[in-house]
Each structure stands twice: as structure tokens, then as C-alpha cells.
Structure 1
């Protein structure tokens, strides 16, 4: 079985097989912490780092891990990396860590990470495994941040609020207020708003795929009809 090309890995992670829009994996953190941009970005970065490192580690040990203990070994690797991320967040972004709460330890059971470890990293070389983790992390994180930004915008009329929780004092003035005197739209920042935003993004992606497929069919040259051969056996006058 030939290894997938880096181009195919990129297309799958960002669009064709996006873990959030196509596979619908990791919906618990995707919907649970996407009520603001900073929360979504913090969880997206943490998940991406664990995904890259776990894919690389799983690929490195795939030849020495017995099949009977493969999944427990993968879970232990992911749990160890998640613990490292959790300790780093406690040290440098403690307030954001408190806001994200249980969703940081739950990275261990994120279906995106475990699925890529077992479905891709365990079957490919470390280079492709690490790149797959990067692209899948970017695809998942992009959807997460997009939902967080849209919910924050429609809910409060501003985006990038409280970014200092992630980037420190340098980001204290990053907030952009797009609608002044905005009374807010409570549904956007409540849990139902996350389902609505995700549904709209999935519908938008499906519509784009449909348009691209129609254009591809329209530009594809049609095969010429096979000419029929007529054999004349005789002529009677």
C-alpha cells in the first residue's frame, strides 16, 4: 500500500475529510467552549499540539507495540501529552485554563486525536504522521475558532475580547468592537447557538462542494458518440 502524498493529506485535513465538518468528531469540545474566540483558540492550539506530538510518537513506536495492547498504548501516549499541555497552561495561562476547565483533560479522549493515531499514524512514517497531525489540527482548529468568533460577534457585537488570557498583556487591546450600542443576541452564546453555527458551516461546505462538482462536470469534455458502421450487402435497383 503506497503512502498518501502530502497534497492529499493537506486536502483531506483542511477540506475533504475535515474532522469537524465531515467526520463530525470532537463535537463535545467543539460545541462546549466555542462561545468566544479566546476560548476556542486556546483549545484549538492545545488540541493541535497534542495531535502533532501523538501522531509522531505513535508512528515511531508502531513497529514495537503489540497489537493486543495497541489502543491502550496510544491512549497512554495521548494522556501523557495532554498532562504536559495541562501543566503548561496552568503555569502560563492559568485563568484561561480555569475557564476551559474539564475540556483540557478531555483532550485525552478526543476522537479526532485517537482516530488519527490509530487510523493514520500507526500506518505511516513519522514525517507524514506529524504532517497529518498538523493539518488535521489546523482543520479542526479553524472550524473551532470560526464558530467561536461568529458566536462572540453575534452575541456581543465584538471579537477578540480577553485575548490577554492567552497571549498576555500585549493582547490587552486586541478587542474589536464592530457594533456599537449592541444589545447582544443571547442565543448565539448559549449552547443552541453552537449547534446552529456548526450546522450553517456544514451546509456552506456542502454547497461549495456541490458547486465545484457541477463546474467540474460542465468543463469535462464529453466523449464522442461511437459511430455506427453500416455494412451494405447489396443494392437492388
Structure 2
């Protein structure tokens, strides 16, 4: 049951990591949202408990995500449209943050950095092996000078949600293979 909040945080990564530019943007928005949510929740933990703390985390996460979506729409309409279905799911890591045992003000930073790191890793691997490109559609955010680099081809399964689960399973198996066992 302790791992359920961490699994909730994986939900936004299913739809946002098919392209590196989407994964980077979603990861940065998630990092900033979790950092702000962690800083706000730290003093509230003494006053709010249980469902009230969870609701506060979800409401504050939704507030941050609404502001981030408006800023993203001002910067890049194409990228905002590509992420619009998945940005509200970034409130789930805020829920996971409220359910964590760790209560420090910087707990959100650690969770946000983990989310950003996993988003970058999945985004790079899924785009590279799935689409056969790297930084495709970077022009959405950086302008026409940053068109994607096209490679020979890819494995389209990795661009789908099922491919994300397969890739996560392979990465977990690789991590466990190289992780030294505790006695």
C-alpha cells in the first residue's frame, strides 16, 4: 500500500513521454508544481489531517497546473494542445505527496526531480526507439530553427501506452539486475 502513491505519480507519464519535448515540458511543470505543493503542504500538515490535507494538495496542485497551462498556451499553442489532456493528471503526484510519510518542505523537490528524471528517461527512449527521432517537434517551443533530427525508423509500439509499460518493466529489470543485493 505504501507504493500506491508512487504508482499514481506514473499516470501522467503514460501520455506525455512519447516525445522528448513533451516529456521535458511535462517534467518541468511537474517539478515546479510538486515543489510549490511541498512548500505549501509543509506548514499545513500541523493543521490539516486526512482527507482535508489530500483535498488541499489536490486544489493547490490544480491551481498551479492551471497557471502553468495558461503560461504554456502563451508560449506555444501546439505544445499546449498536445499536453492539454495530460496536464491535469500532474495533480496525482500532488496527491502522492500528501500521502507520503516524508513531511519536510523539500519533499516536493525530491518527488519533482524524480518525476522529471523519469520523464526525461522515458521521453528520450520512447522517442528514439519508437519514433526514430530525437527532439522532434522542438520547434513547438523553440521555433523553426529547432526542427527534429530524423533517424532511420523506430518501433511504433513504444509510442503507445502499452509500450511505456513494457519499457518501464525493462528499466526496472535492468535496475534490479545491477543493484547490489542487501544481505
TM-score class, shorter: 0.7 to 0.9
What residue in structure 2 maps to residue 47 of structure 1?
Answer: 30
Which of 38, 44, 55 is the matching residue for 1:61?
Answer: 44
**Larger Rg, first or second structure (1 or 2):** 1
* 2:75 counterpart of 1:92: yes
Deviation track 1:128-157 (CA, whole Å, cap 9, x = no partner) reads x22x22222111221122112111111232
Which of 97, 109, 114 is the matching residue for 1:139?
Answer: 114
Which segments of 5 or more consecutive residues in structure 2 lack a partner in the other structure?
A: none
Deviation track 1:166-202 (CA, whole Å, cap 9, x = no partner) reads 3x22x8336344x4xx243222222322121111111
Is contact 1:162–1:172 with CA below 8 Å preserved after alignment?
Answer: no
Is contact 1:86–1:105 with CA below 8 Å preserved after alignment?
Answer: no
What residue in structure 2 maps to residue 194 of structure 1?
Answer: 164
For the residues of structure 2 that align with 1:23 and 1:58, how far apart are their CA atoms? 18
Which of 104, 107, 114 is the matching residue for 2:95?
Answer: 114
What residue in structure 1 maps to residue 87 of structure 2?
Answer: 104
Cα displacement (A) at 1:42: 1.1
Is contact 2:54–2:98 with CA below 8 Å preserved after alignment?
Answer: no
* 2:125 counterpart of 1:150: yes
Which segments of 5 or more consecutive residues in structure 1 lack a partner in the other structure?
A: 1-16, 218-237
* 2:148 counterpart of 1:175: yes
For the residues of structure 1 that align with 2:135 and 2:82, how far apart are their CA atoms? 16
Q: CA 1:67–1:116 in structure 2 vs 1: closer, same or farther (change >3 Å)?
A: closer
With the length of structure 2 as denominator, give the TM-score of the two structures: 0.84
Secondary structure of 1:24's counterpart equals helix
Q: CA 1:68–1:136 in structure 2 vs 1: closer, same or farther (change >3 Å)?
A: closer
For the residues of structure 1 that align with 2:134 and 2:88, how far apart are their CA atoms? 27
- Cα RMSD (Å): 2.7
